[in-house]
Amino acid sequence: MKPEPTLSHSYSDPHPYPAGVAWQDGQYIPVSEAKISVLDYGFLHSDATYDTVHVWDGAFFRLDAHIERFLAGVERLRMTLPVSAGEIREILHGCVALSGHRRAYVEMICTRGAAPYFSRDPRAAVNRFLAFAVPYGSVASDEQMRRGLHVSVTDVTRIPPGSVDPRIKNYHWLDLIGGLFEAYDRGGETALLLDGAGNIAEGPGFNVFSVRGGALLTPAAGVLRGITRRTVMEICHELGLHVDEGAVSPEALRGSDEVFITSTAGGIMPVTRIDRHDVNDGEVGPITETIRRTYWQWHTDPRFIEEVSYPSPQA
């Protein structure tokens, strides 16, 4: 005879987490203790939006742009934040300062929340805001940064913009995860997905740029307008490089002089192999290197950074 189930009031999560600090329901807590309900629409239906900003050498990079995009996504999803834009900035600073991380991955999240009586009406849900700071992580490893990523163009089609607005950062990643597994099966290290017309869209958490004849082209349709993508375009304007948005076919991408991907988690990351074929003889290209160098130089430019005030070390 099986024993009767009992209700535990002292559950301890056995899973490992990175060191970090979260903010939830008005308080800062260890990131391992941050939780949402299993009844939250964000968990059950991926009904949430978020944004990620990084801290580099003790300073946020383009925090205003990330908060602005986050607030636009919240509005488009008809959510209501329980905190103001100014409070979000203070909370993110607090997470980083208390974590002590001088290079951090910082995320702000709004979920639809849970509704009383398990209602299916999203208007009945109470929206929730969470944030956290953990150690900085990159799409590419140090070795991949040095010699360039090996990418596979998969047959997986990105969720069309008529279904999910790509301007809103979201957790609808099953197409991206499927693309990753297909890329791994083909010997790739990460994936690029196609749009509905068969052109290159984006990858798991990153945009892509093609360089040909000294000019740059990045996909325009069905992609997130990444902050790093935007930064690259601004760098190109400052450096006098021509950059455009448009359709990029898989064949055109494979025939590029240079290819690189962009993300808050990694910055400018070179691609030197696509579908087992070398790009630029398998070497990182000069334009990619110039843009990458300028990108990191901008991390000391007062126009784009916001210093974190860390607690003074105790004597």
- pLDDT computed for residue 176 by the predictor: 97
Instruction: Indicate which CATH number applies to the domain containing 100.
Output: 3.30.470.10
Task: Decide if pLDDT at 90 tops 60.
Answer: yes
| 163 and 111 part of one domain | no
Task: Decide if pLDDT at 15 tops 70.
Answer: yes
DSSP-derived 3-state class of residue 227: helix
Task: Decide if pLDDT at 6 tops 70.
Answer: no
Q: Could you please report the per-residue DSSP string of 108-155? A: EEEE----GGG-S-GGGS--EEEEEEEE---SS-HHHHHH-EEEEEEE
| 128 and 163 part of one domain | no
| 94 and 158 part of one domain | no
Among 105, 135, 165, residue at a domain's last position: 135
Residue of 52, 20, 22 lying closest to 35 (CA atoms) = 22
Structure tokens at 205: 């958490």
- pLDDT computed for residue 315 by the predictor: 40
Distance (Å, rounded) from C-alpha 74 to C-alpha 158?
22
Full strand arrangement of the beta sheet holding 305-307 = 27-30, 21-24, 128-135, 104-111, 48-56, 59-61, 305-307
108 belongs to a structural domain = yes
DSSP-derived 3-state class of residue 157: strand
Type of residue found at 72: A
CA atoms within 13 A on the CB side of 35: 8
246 belongs to a structural domain = yes
Tell me what percent of the residues of the chain surpass a pLDDT of 70: 97
Task: Decide if pLDDT at 292 tops 80.
Answer: yes
Q: What is the mean pLDDT of residues 256-283?
A: 96
Among 135, 163, 187, residue at a domain's last position: 135
| 52 and 128 part of one domain | yes
Q: What is the mean pLDDT of residues 130-138?
A: 96
* Phi and psi torsions of 229, nearest 5°: -55, -50
| 291 and 155 part of one domain | yes
- pLDDT computed for residue 312 by the predictor: 84
178 belongs to a structural domain = yes
Counting the structural domains of the chain, the total is 2
Question: Quick one: pLDDT band at residue 297, thresholds 50, 70, 90?
Answer: very high
Among 85, 110, 135, residue at a domain's last position: 135
> DSSP secondary-structure letter at 200?
B
Burial (CB count within 10 angstroms: exposed 0-12, middle 13-18, buried 19+), residue 259: buried
- pLDDT computed for residue 278 by the predictor: 96
Q: Which residue has the higher pLDDT, 61 or 17?
A: 61
DSSP-derived 3-state class of residue 310: coil
| Range list of H helices, 165-249 | 174-185, 227-239
* Owning domain of residue 117: 21-135
Task: Decide if pLDDT at 102 tops 60.
Answer: yes
Of 12-21, 132-141, 142-151, the least confident: 12-21
- pLDDT computed for residue 5 by the predictor: 78
- Model confidence over 170-188: pLDDT tens digits? 999 999 999 999 999 999 9
11 belongs to a structural domain = no
Q: Can you give the pTM of this predicted structure?
A: 0.94
